[in-house]
């Protein structure tokens, strides 16, 4: 019991910057929802049920365009396909005894950020760590979206600009420390930066697609060139 | 006229299935070394690709974005916490934009 509480609290603490970052990003999502004719309640419900930024943006656009339902499903599949990879990686991070219920609750909030901090834990992931992070981040996302619809243009532009790098700062805090200890990881991050930059000029490839393609290609190349030894993998 | 709530339900269902299927179906440790190595590298690559170049376009000015990137890398290198890196990067953007915009 105390163990669960300990991990839950740790998750809560690590989730605070995520919740704040979400709040800022969700604000812009709310503005977008309002432009496409959603009520504050509908936008907040979407945010609560999906916890997805790119998926949310794409979804609201399709609603505004009154696209057919199948197109919505297909679009969500493409835009969120990276979560499939993250979910595969997370499956290896859980003790095989972890129940389906715990797995499903974690699955509900596999976002870039929650995935990032969960995968960075030492050893097996304790689900309660992720629950702690979810407790602060999900309301941040939902309330931010709601307020974005209601009062989109009130928050000072300067503040929105500053808050918008918060999530990226967190990503750096996750990937840079291991790169310091491991030259292969450092090299892979450098290659990822370079290719991502190069491919960003090919504007025909949407960002979600670019992330998937580069993740698969670079990770596969790395796996073939530098297979991990057993002990590194733990 | 399409129904907004049906749209929302389709979004929620599709996204949940994408996230839940691997987590609930893959219950054992994967034995294949290449596949294990692939999944080991996925987080680093995917977070790196999402961060750059997006971070330099996220702010009002490309210069404040670049400053945020450099600040973040330096702080992370010295093992500052998630919260610390995040907050100081935001503060750096806020302060530099007071000067240049």
Shared domain check, A48 and A148 = yes
Average pLDDT of the residues in B65-83: 92
Shared domain check, A204 and A145 = no
Specify if B69 maps to a domain: yes
* Nearest partner of A213 among A226, A227, A228, A200, judged by Cα: A200
Shared domain check, A126 and A53 = yes
Per the structure, the complete domain to which residue A85 belongs is given by 2-163
Per-residue pLDDT at A169: 86
Helix (H) or strand (E) holding A1: none
Helix (H, G, I), strand (E, B) or coil at A200: coil
Distance CA A222, CA A180 (A): 18
Least confident of A209-218, B73-82, B87-96: A209-218
Shared domain check, A197 and A149 = no
Provide ipTM, 2 decimals: 0.87
Per-residue pLDDT at A231: 54
pLDDT tens digit at each of 234 positions of chain A: 678 999 999 999 999 988 988 887 787 788 778 878 899 999 999 999 999 877 887 788 889 888 889 888 987 887 788 898 899 999 999 999 999 999 999 999 999 889 999 999 999 999 999 999 999 999 999 999 999 888 866 767 788 788 778 778 878 988 899 999 999 999 999 999 999 999 999 988 777 678 778 888 999 999 999 998 865 544
Which DSSP category does A231 fall into? G
Specify if A158 maps to a domain: yes
Specify if A173 maps to a domain: no
Per the structure, the complete domain to which residue B78 belongs is given by 31-100
Shared domain check, A194 and A137 = no
Q: How many domains are there within chain A?
A: 2
Q: How many domains are there within chain B?
A: 1
Per-residue pLDDT at A234: 45
A residues 51-110 closer than 8 Å to B (CB): 51-52, 55, 59, 62-63, 66-69, 72-73, 76-77, 80-92, 94, 96, 100, 103-104, 106-108, 110
Shared domain check, A99 and A197 = no
């Amino acid at each position: 019991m105390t163990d669960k509480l300990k991990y839950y609290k740790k998750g809560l603490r690590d989730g605070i910057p995520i919740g704040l970052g979400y709040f800022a990003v969700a604000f812009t999502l709310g503005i977008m929802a309002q432009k496409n004719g959603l009520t504050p309640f509908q936008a907040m419900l979407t945010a609560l049920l999906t916890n997805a930024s790119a998926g949310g943006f794409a979804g609201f656009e399709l609603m505004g365009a009154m696209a057919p339902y199948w197109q919505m499903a297909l679009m969500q599949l493409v835009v969120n396909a990276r979560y499939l990879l993250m979910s595969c990686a997370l499956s290896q991070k859980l003790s095989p005894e972890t129940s389906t219920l715990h797995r499903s609750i974690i699955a509900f909030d596999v976002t870039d950020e929650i995935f990032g901090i969960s995968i960075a834990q030492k050893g097996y992931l304790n689900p309660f760590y992720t629950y702690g992070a979810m407790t602060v981040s999900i309301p941040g996302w939902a309330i931010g979206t709601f307020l974005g619809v209601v009062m989109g243009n009130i928050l000072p532009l300067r503040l929105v600009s500053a808050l918008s790098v918060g999530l990226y700062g967190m990503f750096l805090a996750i990937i840079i420390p291991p790169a310091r200890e491991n030259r292969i990881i450092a090299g892979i991050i450098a290659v990822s930066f370079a290719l991502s930059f190069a491919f960003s000029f090919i504007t025909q490839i949407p960002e979600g697609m670019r992330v998937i393609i580069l993740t698969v290609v670079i990770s596969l190349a790395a796996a073939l060139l530098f297979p991990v030894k057993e002990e590194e993998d733990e | 006229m399409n129904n907004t709530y049906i749209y929302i339900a389709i979004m929620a269902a599709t996204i949940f299935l994408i996230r839940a299927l691997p987590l609930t179906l893959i219950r054992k440790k994967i034995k294949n070394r290449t596949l294990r190595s692939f999944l080991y590298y996925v987080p680093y690559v995917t977070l790196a690709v999402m961060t750059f170049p997006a971070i330099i376009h996220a702010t009002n000015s490309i210069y404040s974005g670049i400053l945020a990137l450099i600040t973040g890398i330096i702080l992370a290198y010295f093992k500052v916490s998630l919260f610390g890196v995040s907050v100081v990067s935001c503060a750096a953007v806020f302060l530099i934009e007071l000067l240049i915009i």
